[in-house]
Amino acid sequence: MTSPAHVAIIMDGNGRWAKARGLPRVAGHRAGVEALRKTVRAAPQLGISYLTVYAFSSENWSRPKSEVSDLMGLLKLFIRRDLAELHQNGVRVRVVGDKASLQTDIRGLLEEAETLTANNDALTLVIAFNYGGRDEIVRTAQKLALAAVRGEISIDSISTESFAASLDTAGIPDPELVIRTSGELRLSNFLLWQAAYSELVFLPCYWPDFSQDHLADALRDFAGRERRFGGLAPREAAS
Ligand code: FPP
């Protein structure tokens, strides 16, 4: 079975998981971090080289202040508690999203994680934090426009390849598979550029219940898909 090199996950349903148990939403997010840990451990064994997770979107700021602060706290705790284990297991951490507008302590922790693990190669864990696909595309357009105005690049040199190489995800291959838990059927501003040809798998389970078996099932589903990238299926192209 061919495994995708890059799997991206929208970890949705923490709030509903907590509500179903009569627990506060933060309990769902805590359980979500545990599911994330298990997924990071399982990914390399399943042949995955890049795992991207949507941890905080640029739209999540509109949640109640207390929930935003809980999510920020959980990210800090995750880096502080798990960075040593991630490093020991050869995990390289990359962060995508608008880092510039994050609190300095969070930005510092994220940069520390990226620097410490920069040379690891067992798995690249891409944390999408303060991330929005449209925001990423606009920031990239601004970066290239500035370079053009300064005469560093010519307008003609801007291509799909050079644009991709200027996104937050520069150097990371596009995800072949995007998984979303919790039964919602949308991308919610996640990897809009990169997911152009991704296969999508939607699972009914809430993120805290996501297990290695769900991941293996999604990979099997992916292996049965026919990917055409806008072309024809091999048998149609031959006839
Ligand atoms: C969606 O569930 C999940 C999020 C907005 C955040 C995902 C965060 C985690 C899994 C934990 C934090 C991760 C790190 C690395 C700190 P929801 O709250 O939208 O659930 P609902 O749709 O059921 O309300």
Domains and CATH numbers, the chain: 6-132+173-224 (3.40.1180.10)
Ligand 1 atom nearest residue 67's Cα: 18
Distance, C-alpha 72 to centroid of its chain: 17
33, 51, 60, 102, 130 from 107: Cα distances, Å: 19, 21, 17, 6, 11
Please identify every stretch of the chain with a pLDDT value under 70, giving residue numbers as ranges. 1, 235, 237-239
β pairing state of 50-57 and 199-202? unpaired
Pocket of ligand 1 (CB under 6 A): 11-16, 29, 32-33, 36, 55, 60, 71, 74-75, 78, 127, 182, 207
The tokens describing 67, both together, are 């929930």
Looking at residue 185, its pLDDT comes to: 98
- Dihedral of the CA atoms 156, 162, 168, 169 (nearest 10)? 160
| pLDDT tens, position by position, 59-87 | 999 999 999 999 999 999 999 999 999 99
Q: Identify the active-site residue in 60, 89, 120, 189.
A: 60
Q: Which residue, by CA, sits nearest to atom 6 of ligand 1?
A: 55
By the 8 A CB rule, do 125 and 154 touch?
no
The tokens describing 126, both together, are 């891409």
Q: What is the residue whose two structure tokens read 């971090």?
A: 33
The strand ranges marked E within 11-133 are 50-57, 91-96, 123-131
Cα–Cα dist 37/122, whole Å: 15
Cα–Cα dist 107/100, whole Å: 8
Looking at residue 233, its pLDDT comes to: 78
Looking at residue 75, its pLDDT comes to: 97
Looking at residue 238, its pLDDT comes to: 67
Cα–Cα dist 54/11, whole Å: 6
Cα–Cα dist 31/36, whole Å: 9
How far apart are the CA of 207 and the centre of ligand 1, in A?
A: 8
Looking at residue 72, its pLDDT comes to: 97
The tokens describing 233, both together, are 């299926």
| pLDDT tens, position by position, 6-32 | 999 999 999 999 999 999 999 999 999
How far apart are the CA of 25 and the centre of ligand 1, in A?
A: 9
pTM (predicted TM-score): 0.96
Q: Which residue, by CA, sits nearest to atom 22 of ligand 1?
A: 13
